[in-house]
Chains A and B, each alone.
Chain A
Amino acid sequence: MSGFKETEGTYGVNPRIRDFLVSCIGAVAVDGGGVSLLSRTGAGEPVYGSDPTAEKLERLQFTLGEGPCVDASAGRSPVLVPDLESPGSGATERWPTFLAEAFDLGVRAVFAFPLRIGARSLGAVDFYRKAAGPLEDRDVVTSLTVVDTIALALLDGDADVDGAFGAESLHNLEVHRAAGMVMMQMRSSIEEAVLLLRATSFAEGVPIDALARAVVHGERRFEEESA
């Protein structure tokens, strides 16, 4: 379905991620979407587009080095542009070249969401629509949930972690506080620390918030040797 070569990026894009994205596109009022990932060096790489237009949009942004998806990857904020042609969108000033190309593709609205594990940006997911108009509130919620699920799927790789240890752990501040501690205990990266907390929670059948609290209170430590 996709023209992109898979598994060339740091993480590749597994079928699960494709399924999540396709289900989101079906549920939300958009025409298509794609995923771009950042390599360890910070270079962006398009890995998936749900249709030829989405593929072009992804590739275009990282070739030009500008666009909503590039900004979302680099920042901590979603970049939601309900109408690229509206003067109020700021699109002309922010992405002049991208704007011209998007216009040629017939794309009017772009909604880009960062894929983040706190301090680490993994890339971004973006959706496009040929008609102008904002995302409805419930579509924003769906998009945010799917984006979190994709971030976790990237983190877990092919590991089959149960859905019960789902996306809400990415919003639990105590999990992040604990991950910062575990990162230092294990001399690892922050995303490895979050993954270790999730995997331990799953393996031991302990809710991740309880595990995180034990770490923060110094009752549970992760040592390098035990890895």
Chain B
Amino acid sequence: MTDGNVMETPDSGSSREALLASTFVALADTLVDDYDVVDMLDGLVNSCVALLGVSQAGLMLADQRGALHLMASSNEATRIVELFQLQGTEGGPCVQACRTGVAVHVDDLTRATPWPRFADTAVTAGFRSVHAVPMRWRETTLGALNLFNEEPPSLGNEDQQLARAFADVATIAILQQRSLHRSSQLVEQLQSALNSRIVIEQAKGVLAEHGKVGMDMAFVALRDFARNHNLKLAAVAEALVRRERSADDILVAVPRPSAPGDADR
């Protein structure tokens, strides 16, 4: 994936199919040796938004204790990130999809759901429908792909199948190798991905504070810097947090607000 931001929402028909094909080829191309999992999943959730016509997409991963953690979000602004994470404490479609291994669709969040606090927060954030697709590997559910839309209903049949394909690509990306055969390797890959995400969160905080920018802008600056310098996202984040790389270097291309304060956090 060269840049997950430049794809536009397709109209319909053959142009969409061509775009789909090229997106999956591009995603597969990123699965080369030693790729950066978080960067790859960031491209994947942005492709979901572009191709499925949803408003936001996020990917949650379950750790060995069963707790869910956000691995990638199409928008890293705090209010969106918190909506994904809220499911860990209040329950939500992702938690249910992870527990049951079955996809969850909610066409209208203003009607009764099993997770009233999650639904209220989602509606307040402007969303009306939500969709969670489990990431399954053999008997294990690794996590779920979470799609939010500002309009009801949720996805149609064809788009649901497409969402499943995206979830499968994400599963492969997390496992990093198709011939994974030991449960020990699964533990290693999951922990590695989760630890990478923690380092990136620390780096977002460093950049947001130093540059007085929102968390979304901080993430984009970090990601773009890594891509432009052909470095791994987690490696850049780690160097920044360890003060081996300066925040100014990474924020150099980011427009600074004229006044302090940050509406996007």
**Taking beta carbons and an 8 Å cutoff, which residues of A are in contact with B?**
75-82, 88, 114, 116, 118-120, 134-135, 137, 140-141, 144-145, 168, 170-171, 173-174, 176-185, 189-190, 213, 216-218
Contact = CB atoms under 8 A, between A and B. Distances in A.
Nearest to A221: B209
A76 B195 contact: yes
Q: Which 5 A-B pairs have the closest CB atoms?
A: A180-B205, A119-B241, A77-B192, A76-B195, A80-B184
Given A116-B198, A180-B207, 11 more contacts: A77-B191, A118-B241, A134-B182, A141-B64, A173-B69, A173-B81, A174-B82, A177-B208, A179-B202, A181-B208, A216-B265
B168 interface: no
A181 B209 contact: yes
Nearest to B262: A218
Interface residues of B, number: 48
Given A118-B201, A173-B85, A144 B241 contact: no
B182 A119 contact: no
B237 to A, nearest CB: 7
A76 B199 contact: yes
Contact of B196 (A76, A79, A168, A216): A76
B210 interface: yes
Given A176-B202, A184-B209, A190-B241, A216 B183 contact: no
A177 B201 contact: yes
Contacts of A141: 64-65
A151 to B, nearest CB: 12
A144 B256 CA distance: 41
A170 B202 CA distance: 12
A180 B69 contact: no
Given A179-B205, A184-B206, A218-B265, A77 B198 contact: no
B202 to A, nearest CB: 4
29 contacts: A76-B199, A77-B189, A77-B191, A77-B192, A78-B191, A80-B187, A81-B184, A82-B182, A88-B182, A114-B195, A118-B199, A120-B241, A144-B63, A144-B191, A145-B65, A170-B198, A171-B194, A173-B69, A174-B85, A177-B78, A177-B201, A177-B202, A177-B208, A180-B202, A180-B205, A180-B206, A184-B205, A216-B215, A216-B265
